């Protein structure tokens, strides 16, 4: 498996990947999963962080993807991680874990302070993510409870406490 930065030529493949990964009985070609439209908006946003938008390839096929965008905690900068997706035929092989681990590594290397995501605590806990509330970070939606996860990196300071805000495209969901 190779993990590399997303390239513009990956866009169509990533859209299909996310449509497949997040497909439900309610999704159709005319009404794809919300993650597809969100990702398109994030890719076109000034909040995009290119070196933290990654794909996983196996035998030159894109099988996994994640995107990180600029977010804030109060007035301090942070990262919002997601959507993250892996083709269903490749799930359970450590691809999502490798994408998250590489995101954490690159973010820390670039002096980022905090990564926030919405996800399963049992899954993301292995990377050091905890409920945002444990770190003094307030979720945009109180209903997210323990699924609102955060990870403090080496550059985190006391300024990284308060209300979290995702990149603008999340507000348009």
What pLDDT is stored for residue 44 in this prediction? 96
Is the torsion defined by CA of 149, 48, 71, 15 positive or negative?
A: negative
Domain boundaries, the chain: 2-171
What CA dihedral angle connects 97, 102, 104 and 108, to 10 degrees? 170
The token pair at 81 is 């991680």
Do the beta carbons of residue 164 and residue 76 sit within 8 Å?
A: no
What pLDDT is stored for residue 141 in this prediction? 94
116's CB contacts (< 8 A; 6+ apart) are 71, 73, 78, 79, 80, 81, 132, 137, 148, 149, 150, 151, 164, 166
Strand duo 54-58 + 61-73: pairing? antiparallel
- pLDDT (tens, 9 = 90+) of the chain, 173 residues, equals 999 999 999 999 999 999 999 998 877 777 889 999 999 999 999 999 999 999 999 999 999 999 999 999 999 999 999 999 999 999 999 999 999 999 999 999 999 999 999 999 999 999 999 999 999 999 999 999 999 999 999 999 999 999 999 999 998 87
What pLDDT is stored for residue 120 in this prediction? 96
The fourth-level CATH superfamily of domain 2-171 is Gcn5-related N-acetyltransferase (GNAT) (3.40.630.30)
The token pair at 18 is 């996310």
Instruction: Indicate the pTM of the whole model.
Output: 0.94
Q: Tell me how far apart the alpha carbons of residues 54 and 66 are, in angstroms, rounded to a whole number.
A: 5
């Amino acid at each position: 498996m190779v993990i590399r930065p997303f390239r513009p030529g990956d866009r169509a493949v990533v859209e299909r990947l996310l449509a497949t990964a997040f497909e439900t009985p309610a999704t159709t070609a005319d009404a794809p999963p919300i993650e597809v439209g969100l990702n398109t908006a994030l890719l076109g946003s000034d909040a995009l962080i290119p070196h933290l938008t990654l794909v996983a390839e196996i035998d030159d096929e894109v099988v996994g993807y994640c995107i990180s965008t600029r977010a804030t905690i109060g007035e301090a900068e942070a990262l919002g991680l997601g959507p993250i997706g892996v083709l269903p035929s490749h799930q359970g092989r450590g691809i999502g874990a490798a994408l998250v681990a590489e995101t954490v590594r690159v973010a820390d290397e670039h002096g980022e302070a905090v990564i926030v995501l919405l996800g399963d605590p049992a899954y993301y806990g292995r990377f050091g993510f905890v409920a945002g509330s444990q770190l003094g970070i307030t979720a945009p939606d109180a209903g997210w409870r323990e699924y609102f996860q955060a990870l403090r990196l080496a550059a985190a300071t006391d300024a990284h406490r308060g209300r979290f805000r995702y990149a603008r495209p999340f507000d348009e969901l």
